[in-house]
Structure 1
């Protein structure tokens, strides 16, 4: 539950005060990753909040339910507005053209799955879809351990790093994809430990930051990398998109976590940190992915020192090998 004293709640009111006052944070939020804020959507603007304010939801969701929703949500209107490909600009774009370093072309069999990712990122939250509300409740309950809090609206959302009483208003830059990826990060056994570590850091008295909003920023950065085709090689090798894309999102979050923790960053530094992370992950996608794998292997080794398979150093010549045994959201899962 939220405290009425913002100064006593580093994860809530005080963090959000920084969000409103920090020029650096405002600048990074203005990055044109997916600009839905200029669009008027009835799902965001015409909802009768008063009729929903007392809605109570008691059930949480599973990874299978999230995947089913991702695969089946209607996206025809959003598909007409996506921009799935963007030519790189600036220094890296110039170097790519000079030295013929353009990204590998995505296999045609994977284009529909990639396009669905972009379309879902344009799909707004709907208060009329009960499972979407369950998505939010699951995020709150799993992060805080408070199974009794099931209110759709309220100040309690600031506890986990949303900016106000209605978390849906923070999704306009990345749509439902922002919820999907945060749920994946929380629920997947491959990433849940890292999620807990990052969430714990977000509550630190000095290094606190708004966890949920930061996750949405990471989704936005990941979408930009996807749009520039920088993950195509990994998609082709693993023969899937969403599995690799979710893993990459986690890998980007790991980069931010390491930078934030090791360099004693605070909310004042957030804009600069996000800009640096955005540059870093675009520069070397493979290294970012492998560092996430190393984190996973090190955690498994520490958790089970008697498991010989997790104590061995693993070298991959094909990044597709990474994803063969990873139990995360995969569109090919039945």
Structure 2
């Protein structure tokens, strides 16, 4: 696997992406070890300058986004900028939909209720827990509940494995996972500064819901590591860090072109 080796200036040594997304970089220099392009050049609506290994040598190329990738990236960025607003009817409906998907057949007493604590929110009002990650964290949970209901229920009910006495709160953990993925992919920036973010953007052409799929994989990886390390709630941040490291490693694998190609995708059912 040829992934990031050494990094210098704005360019990184990375694996080859589809040639249709590349154009030869008109600036910078390259060597057999590290390629350096100085200040990145941004071409129109394109992406940043990165260096790809081609036939044993590193040559500078610039990634430009296809119209489809650009459209989906902008749509995802827009989703990430939406704060949860408890006064918005559509946000209220999304909360009710999450409840229905999580506890089918069980009536919700209200958007502010002690019932929410059973899902792993910090208090009676789940809207207060969305501040760090925004509305997309609720969308991620809802996507998980509807798309992979068996896995979702498995994690919600802490089934399987030797569980800690002091477990992580399911829903709040989900919000933290959304925030972690946003940071890992650097999608809050106007232009991604990480190669893993660049790789992910390429995946958007394969599936518009790549972010939500990655979220589901990340949740499974986090719980799997939680069990393997016999972790407790006080170690949650360490588990989240190791989860990120595993996700980055898998995303940067040469044979991973879609979220579904990630080895950890097999954890979902």
TM over 0.5, shorter chain? yes
Indicate the residue corresponding to 1:293 in structure 2: 265
2:129 corresponds to which residue?
Answer: 170
Contact 1:139/1:183 (<8 A) preserved: yes
After superposing the two structures, state which structure 1 stretch, 278-287 or 121-130, moved more: 278-287
Q: Distance in 2 between matches of 1:142 and 1:292?
A: 24
- Report if the CA contact (8 A) 1:158-1:164 is conserved: yes
Task: Calculate the TM-score normalised by the size of structure 1.
Answer: 0.53
- 1:157 corresponds in structure 2 to 116
Q: Name the count of aligned residue pairs.
A: 206
TM-score (norm 2): 0.65
Trace 1:1-334 onto structure 2 (pairs within 5 A).
93-94=7-8, 96=12, 98=34, 100=51, 105-145=64-104, 147-188=106-147, 191-201=148-158, 206=165, 208-227=167-186, 228=194, 230-233=196-199, 235-236=201-202, 239-240=205-206, 242-285=208-251, 289=259, 290-296=262-268, 299=269
Q: Answer yes or no: is the 8 Å Cα contact 2:199–2:252 preserved in 1.
A: no
Deviations 1:61-80 (A, max 9, x none): xxxxxxxxxxxxxxxxxxxx
Partners of 1:278 and 1:121 in 2: how far apart? 19
CA pair 133-238 structure 1, distance change in 2 beyond 3 A: closer
Q: Residues 230 and 241 (structure 1 numbering): CA distance in 2 closer, same or farther, change over 3 Å?
A: farther
More moved, 116-125 vs 212-221: 116-125
> Cα distance, 1:214 vs. partner?
0.8
Query: Which is richer in helix?
Result: 1
Offset of 1:210 from its aligned partner? 0.9
Q: Distance in 2 between matches of 1:105 and 1:179?
A: 31
The CA RMSD measured in Å over matched residues stands at 3.1
**Contact (CA 8 Å) 2:203, 2:210: kept in 1 or not?**
no
Counterpart CA distance in 2 for 1:110 and 1:205 is: 42
Q: Distance in 2 between matches of 1:223 and 1:230?
A: 11
Asked if 1 retains the 8 angstrom alpha-carbon contact of 2:250 and 2:263, the reply is no
CA 1:214 to 1:106, structure 2 compared with 1: closer, same or farther past 3 Å?
farther
Contiguous gaps of at least 5 residues in structure 2: 14-33, 36-50, 53-60, 187-193
Using CA pairs under 8 Å that are at least 6 residues apart, name the structure with larger relative contact order, 1 or 2.
1
Where does the alignment leave 5 or more consecutive residues of structure 1 unmatched? Answer: 1-89, 300-334
Structure with greater proportional strand content: 2
List per-residue Cα deviations over 1:184-232 (Å, max 9, x = no partner): 00011xx222111111218956252111111111111222233235254
